[in-house]
Structures are given as structure tokens and as C-alpha cells.
A and B are shown apart, each in its own frame.
Chain A
Amino acid sequence: MAEERKIVIELQNVRREFHVGSEVVKALRGVSFKIYEGEFVTIMGTSGSGKSTLLNQLGCLDTPTSGEYILDGVPVKKMRRRERAVLRNRKIGFIFQNYNLLAKTTAVENVELPLMYNSAYSAKQRREAAIEALKAVGLGDRLEHKSNQMSGGQMQRVAIARALVNNPAVILADEATGNLDTRTSFEILVLFQELHRQGRTIIFVTHNPEIAQYSSRNIVLRDGKIREDVENHNILSAADALAALPKQED
């Protein structure tokens, strides 16, 4: 069964070392795993566990000191800066904790951004794709709203639409609910589960253990090594959790 599934991400004994002064900091000490298409993986760990370093590796923002990272069939280690930029543009959708939307820019323009760097898209196609992505995250009525006219939850939805617009092989979310209140966090989790149901591959990096209950697999990192890697056969529904929340009083 597992053999039939397509491998999107494969890490082979990835190590990453940093030189801080005369000291060598080993942030990743040999990490290996495979992520298959359609998985919703949470990567957890306390700060200093190598979580951020792993995310940078997965996002092709950095390359391993040793080992190999294969993203959607493409080995990344030997790639140059410029090539990795193009690879990010085509295969990865980033979602950040603080949304990282362009200021004074409309939702549509923010979502169009990744396609701006892909010459295969015309201005018209770009806009159409952006509108479609915004509809998919439930913001079809907020197309021309500027980033400073939206709530945190709406801004994160725009960011998710931006991550979807290039139809990436994998969506990388970095503490995507970290800045949101409980209710809005669940709303965003509902959206992630919806994307998961549609067959998207999602990696959600977080230090919040609660979120692991809503994903299909959980990887726990400690001191640059994988301590735990378990599939979740009892995925909770974020929509149920949202409905169970006490109603807001105001």
C-alpha cells in the first residue's frame, strides 16, 4: 500500500552545521524521513530542537551540510541559489506565523506575487488563479481589500491562498496559527484539514502539541534528531472542535 504512494519529500541523513565563531553548532544530526503525497504532517519540537533549521531545509532556503534532500524528485543539495529560487516558486507554498503580506497591497495582488516570478503566467491568468485561490480559502468577497483592512484570520487566509496559487507539491506552514486566537486558529485548522482532504501535502511546523491531533502524522524533533515519527489513525475534526468552543460573548 505504502509503495504505491508518491514520495514528495525524502530526507537522507541530512545534517546541517553552523559555525558560530570557533564553535560548530550541529542543528541537524542526521535526519531521514519520507513524506508521501497527501499527507498532513506536523513537525514538533521545542525551541533549539532544529525545527527551524529543518523547515529551512524543506523550504529550499538552505542546503544540507551533508546528506541529501529530494523534493518532488529533484535533489536539492547541489543546487545553486538561483535554481533553488525557481524550485521554491514552482514546488513550495510558504505560510508564515506573521502572514508576511505586502503592506498597502490588495488581497489579489498579494496572492498573485508568486506567479509574478513565473513568466509562464500572463497578467490575466495570474489574476484568475489568484481569485480562484482566494475563493478556495473563503475570501471571494474580500478580493480588493488591502492587507491593513483585514483581521489576522483573514490575513492568514490570504497567505494560505498565496501558498496555494502556484499549485505547489508541498505546503510549508511555520506556526501558522501562532499569532491567532483559539477560535481563529481552529478556523484556520479547518481550512488545513479541508486542503488535506483535497489531497494536498502539508507540513505544519509547530510547538503546539494540540495541533498534532488534527494531522495525519506527527514527527517530533529533539536535539537535531527525530525522536518520534507516528501516524495518527484517529484524526480529530477541527470543525467539531470549533463548534464545541464556547460562543463569543461580544
Chain B
Amino acid sequence: MNFANLLKVAITAIMSNKSRTLLSTLGIIIGVAAVITMMAIGQGSKDSIRKELSKMGTNLINIRPGGDMRGGVRLDPSAMQTLKMADVEAIQNEAKLITHISPEVTASGQVIYGAKNTNTTVYGESTEYLSIKLWEIKDGDCFTEEDIKKSSKVCVVGTTIVEELFGDKNYDAVGKTIRFKSIPFRIVGILKSKGYNSWGMDQDNVMIAPYTTVMKRIAAQTFFSNINVSAVKEELSDDAIEELTTILRRTHKIKEGGDDDFTIRSQQEMMETMSSTMTTLQTVLVVAAAFSLLVAGIGIMNIMLVSVTERTKEIGLRMSVGARGIDISRQFLLESIMISLSGGVIGVGLGYLLSGLAQMIGFPATVPLWSVLVSFGVCALIGLLFGYIPAHKAATMDPIEALRYE
């Protein structure tokens, strides 16, 4: 029998048992819808993380002190005091693939204005920090090179701090003096709001001051906790990292073959790290959903076995008028594939619907096209695999017995 005829026979068979077919595809529908929704949420989260990170600047490169071995003990990287002013100067003078550089010293604590207070983190940075992190100034200005030289007690604050201390986030606080750990800071600029990032951190609860001020007056240290630089271009990030590594190995006097005592990561790598966590989570969920598809496949096999038994007489008739075993097995295989695929189609539709709902209640969700294609492929495969046993049973029937079956 040719394919068009087989298709017609399969459709007739399916349509003559609509409700049973629908029930037997329920497993497939739910399984596929679950896979599609999981994929959509996973993909959506990845996309939103990527967007978030790119808001911080896609050509950002971060240098941190690396863990070092001291007498056989590996030390905590944050306790390392290896990033010094000399490193910053060397990079400024020598690196060709770097546009901006800002050493960073941070301290957390309470800021006070009048009777109001809040907790925040003060970032000691250079004037180039705002360009690196793509911050924009709403009111006033950034502090100057002069302020850095003099370790001036000036700062730029985020809108959350303005709101907490002055009661209104649109309040023009430029010129006011706030206190951080009892040290007075004059506000010279207010940052444009960035909102929350995708892992729930308020990016506007921030206070930026000259790094010299934070080093000397607050943290009382001579080293940096990390250095942010931006590469000339995003594509040149890897080359920039290489350049920075060469410079830092020299300034740190690391011998050939020795381990780096610092870590340099580009924004690209950070994105990949975040995505890989999401991918793991997504994989676990998809595997769970895949098991439900396996169960659904067994359901289809069951219904096909019933169908074969029910239609024993029809099989006998078809054989008596000249159907070969292969004609019969193709007929039932196509039927099970079509049942499974139609479940897949409904499941994909439901998956789109659920993804839409997820988006409405705040989950980022985008259905990746490949997950739809894979779903259809998997459904066809399930129909083929689980349809095989019933089809084989039908094809190997004895026509005499089948015709006599009541």
C-alpha cells in the first residue's frame, strides 16, 4: 500500500476513536508541554541574565587576586594582597587593548543623613568606573582626578540611597553631606537608576567614591580587592586578557611555569558560567519530563495493542485480499506515529500557552524553536518505538485465525 493510502487508513482509524485517541495522547501532551515550558523558562532566564550582564558592559574584564600557596596552604583569594597601585600603573602605561581601568576597594556599612540611615556598600573607584560599568549620571557630576589625588571625601550615590536618606528618589541631593562610618561625604552626583538585576540585587543601592579615599580613610589598606578594565572591543577581550596576564606576571615577578596569583575573567566567561548553571538545572528538568514521555509511550503501546486485538477481523480481511505482513505493520506503525505526533502538536501548543502564562506571572520565558522541532522528532520516535510491538503482532497474525476471530 502506498503512503497516501496508508495515511488515509490511519486517519480514518484515529478519527473513528476520537476520545480514546485523545485520552491515550494525554501523556504525550503533558510530557511535551512540560518539556517546552521548561525549555522556554530556561532559555528565557539565560537570555535575561545575558541581557543583565551586557548592561554592565560586554567588554568588561575583571582582575581578581588568585589563591596562592603559602607553605603548602592554599589561601583565600580575597585575603590576598597582591593587586597594588604598581599593577594599575603598569597596565595604564603598557596595555594597548584597554580603554578604561578602575581599581576597586569596597566596604560595607551604614550611611546616615540626619535622622535617617541605611546600609550600603561603598565602592572605591577611579573616574573611569562609570564608563566601564555603563553607569550614567542623572544629577551633578562624577568626582574628578583631582579628588582622587587628594583623597577627597566626595561620592556619587544611587537612587535607592537618595530615597532612603532623603525620602524621595527624585530629590536633588547634590551638595548634601552624608556620613559613612562617621566620615562625611559630600554628594557630587546621582546615578541614573538601573533597577534590580536578575539575581535580585538592587543595583541602585550603591555609593561610589574615589578609591584613594576608601583605601585610606575607610578600609585602611594598600591593596585592591579587584581591578575592572574594559577592552577596546568585545571581540578583543581574549587578546586583552592575554596582554594583561603578561603585564601582571611581570609586575608580580612570576617565574616561567609558575602559577598566576591572579584571575582574569571577561564578561563573556561570566555569562557562560551563569548559563552553565541554568543549563544544568534545565537538563535535570528536561530529563524528568523525558521520563514522563517514556510513560506516555507505554500508554500508546497499550492502546495500540487494544486496537490491534479489536481489529483482528479487519486484519484478517486485509490479509485475505492481499495485504502483506509489511502492509499491515506499516498501517499500525503509521497510526501510532500519528497518535503520538498529534499529541506532540497539542503538547507544543499547550507548552506555548504555559510559557505565555509563565511570562505573565513574571518568569522570563521564550520558547526556543529547536525545542519544538526536537519535541516533534521525539514524538515520532516514541510512536515508532512503542508502535513496533503492536504492529509486529498485527503483521504476524495468521489470516485464517484472524478471519475466524469473534
- Which A residues are within 8 Å of any B CB, using their own CB? 56, 59, 61-62, 81-82, 85-86, 88-90, 94, 96, 100, 102-105, 113-114, 116-119, 123, 162, 166
B16 and A94 form a contact (CB under 8 A): no
Min CB–CB distance B231 → chain A (angstroms): 66
With a cutoff of 8 Å between Cβ atoms, the chain A residues found around residue B4 in the complex are 123
B321 sits at the interface (CB 8 A): yes
In the complex, are the beta carbons of A102 and B321 less than 8 A apart?
Answer: no
- If A56-B400, A61-B399, A105-B12 touch, whether A100 touches B317 (CB-CB below 8 Å) is yes
Residues of B within 8 A of A96 (CB): 403
The distance from the CB of A178 to the nearest CB of chain B, in whole angstroms, is 14
CB contact between A113 and one of B313, B321, B399 (< 8 Å): that residue: B321
The chain B residue sitting closest to A165, CB to CB, is B321
Given known contacts A100-B313, A117-B1, A119-B2, A88 and B16 CB-to-CB distance under 8 angstroms = no
Sample (22) of A-B pairs whose CB atoms are under 8 Å apart: A59-B320, A61-B319, A61-B399, A61-B400, A81-B325, A85-B322, A85-B324, A85-B327, A88-B320, A88-B322, A89-B321, A94-B321, A100-B316, A102-B317, A103-B16, A104-B12, A105-B12, A113-B317, A113-B318, A114-B322, A117-B321, A118-B322
Interface check B314, CB cutoff 8 A: yes
Residues of A within 8 A of B314 (CB): 102-103
* B323 contacts chain A at the CB level, 8 A cutoff: yes
Question: Of all chain B residues, which has the CB nearest A89?
Answer: B322
Q: Which residue of B lies closest to A118 (CB)?
A: B322
In the bound complex, residues from chain A placing their C-beta under 8 Å from that of B327 are 85, 117
Contacts of B399 in A (CB 8 A): 61
Q: Which residues of B contact A94 (CB under 8 A)?
A: 320-321
Residue B182 at the A interface, CB < 8 A? no
**Residue in chain B with minimal CB distance to A96:** B403
B19 contact set on A, CB distance < 8 A? none
CA distance A49 to B129 in the complex (A): 104
Contact of B93 with A by CB under 8 A = no
A96 to chain B, nearest CB (A): 7
Residues of B within 8 A of A86 (CB): 322, 324
Measured CB to CB, the nearest residue on chain A to B4 is: A123
Chain A residue nearest to B402 (CB atoms) is: A61
Instruction: Return chain B residues, CB-CB under 8 Å to A85.
Output: 319, 322-325, 327
Collect the chain A residues with CB atoms within 8 Å of residue B16's CB: 103-104
Task: Name the residue on B nearest A56 (C-beta).
Answer: B400
Q: What is the minimal beta-carbon distance from A59 to any residue of chain B, in angstroms?
A: 7
Chain B, residue nearest A172 (CB) = B320
Inter-subunit contact A117/B320 (CB<8 Å): no
- In whole angstroms, what is the CA distance A117 to B318 when docked? 9
A103: chain B residues at CB < 8 Å are 16, 314
- Write out the residue numbers on chain B whose beta carbons fall within 8 Å of the beta carbon of A162: 321
Beta-carbon nearest neighbor of B320 in chain A: A94
Interface flags for B15-30 (1: CB within 8 Å of A; 0: not) read: 0100000000000000
- Chain A residue at minimal CB-CB distance from B324: A85
A62 touches B322 (CB 8 A): no
Please measure, in the bound complex, the distance between the C-alpha atom of A81 and the C-alpha atom of B320, giving whole angstroms: 11
| Highest count of chain B CB atoms <10 Å: which of A82, A96, A116, A123 | A116
Interface 0/1 of B45-68, CB less than 8 Å to A: 000000000000000000000000
The complex places the Cα of A94 from the Cα of B400 at a distance, in Å, of 13
Quick one: closest A residue to B399, CB to CB? A61
Q: Which residues of A contact B1 (CB under 8 A)?
A: 116-117
Instruction: Give the distance to chain B from A161, nearest Cβ to Cβ, in Å.
Output: 12
Chain B positions 312-363 with a Cβ under 8 Å from a chain A Cβ = 313-314, 316-327
Q: Which chain B residue lies CB-closest to A86?
A: B322
User: 5 other contacts beyond A89-B322, A102-B314, with CB at 8 A cut-off?
Assistant: A61-B319, A104-B12, A104-B16, A117-B323, A117-B324
Task: Name the residue on B nearest A123 (C-beta).
Answer: B4
B400 touches A62 (CB 8 A): yes
Lowest 6 A-B CB distances belong to which pairs?
A89-B322, A114-B321, A117-B322, A85-B324, A100-B317, A88-B322
- B66 CB → nearest A CB, Å: 72
With a cutoff of 8 Å between Cβ atoms, the chain A residues found around residue B322 in the complex are 85-86, 88-90, 114, 117-118, 166
Q: Which of B1, B313, B321, B326 gathers most chain A CB within 10 Å?
A: B321
- Which residue of A82, A100, A116, A166 is within 8 Å of B5 (Cβ)? A116
